[in-house]
Amino acid sequence: MLLAVALVALNVFFWLAAGGIAGSRAIISSFFGNSLIRGEVVVSSPTGPQDWRIDRGVITAIAGSAFTLRERDGTIVTIDVSPTARVQGPGKYSIVGRLKPRLRVVLYRQANQPAELVQVEGGSG
């Protein structure tokens, strides 16, 4: 009898935990999905907290390492992009030097640092 109660309790725990995980994924998707304009995320790491900035928009200008983005809400931001930043997206944009105005991108950077990751989301937008 005790074993049966323990198994039922364990089953209920996993059933509720799975629902909680699914709910948190929905929340994360609503914050970091396609409706994201910009964000700041603080992540815990072994060396202490890391402050990350995420900016999404259309490249309007490139001057040296400075990319100017027009974000969905009309905000214009200028962000330095490391020349060695990793670029994800179509192969023809595999390096920073191939990026150009009118591309929709997401830039990831640690606060006050050049962007180290560029995700190309699409062409002219």
- 45 & 86 share domain: yes
User: What is the number of domains present in the chain?
Assistant: 2
For each of the chain's 125 residues, which pLDDT tens digit applies? Answer: 444 445 545 454 454 445 454 445 555 565 566 777 788 888 888 888 888 898 999 999 999 999 999 999 999 999 999 999 999 988 888 899 999 999 999 999 998 899 999 999 987 54
- 23 & 4 share domain: yes
In angstroms, the CA 120 to CA 105 distance is 5
Pairing of strands 115-122, 76-88: parallel
- 64 & 89 share domain: yes
- 48 & 83 share domain: yes
In angstroms, the CA 118 to CA 93 distance is 10
- 107 & 54 share domain: yes
Residue 108's domain comprises 38-122
Q: How far is CA 25 from CA 48, 59, 87, in A?
A: 25, 30, 26
- 55 & 9 share domain: no
Can you list the positions of beta strands (E) in the chain? 38-43, 50-63, 66-70, 76-88, 104-110, 115-122
- 113 & 54 share domain: yes
pLDDT of residue 26: 58
* pTM for the whole structure: 0.71
- 67 & 25 share domain: no
